[in-house]
Amino acid sequence: MEEESSLGRDLTAAKEAIADHRDKFAVMANMFDMMIETNPNVNPALASRWQSLCPTFIPERTPEEQADLERRADEHSSDLFDEINLNT
C-alpha cells in the first residue's frame, strides 16, 4: 500500500513538473514567434521551418491563453534584455 501511495505522489510531482516545463516552453515559443513576426532580417528558411514546427510543440490556444502568453513573453523578453543590458 505504501509503495502505491509513494508512486502516486511521484506521478503527481512528475505531472506538475511537465506542466511547468510545457508552460515555460510555450512562453519561449511565443517570444520566438514575436521575434520572427517583427524582425525584417529573419532568415526566411528559419521562419518557414519554425512556422511548420510550431504547431507540433504548441497546441492551439484560446484567445485568453494567447493574450496571457503574449503578456508573459513581453515581461520575460524585457527581463532578458535587462540582464544582457539591451534595454537602455
51 lies in a domain? Answer: yes
- Coil vs helix vs strand at 77: helix
* Residue 28 scores a pLDDT above 60: yes
88 lies in a domain? Answer: no
Q: What is the domain range of residue 43?
A: 2-83
33 lies in a domain? Answer: yes
50 lies in a domain? Answer: yes
* Residue 86 scores a pLDDT above 60: no
For residue 50, count CB atoms less than 10 angstroms from its CB and return exposed for 0-12, middle for 13-18, buried for 19 or more: middle
How many domains does the structure of the chain reveal? Answer: 1
pLDDT tens by residue, 35-85: 888 888 888 898 888 888 877 766 677 888 878 878 877 777 766 666 666
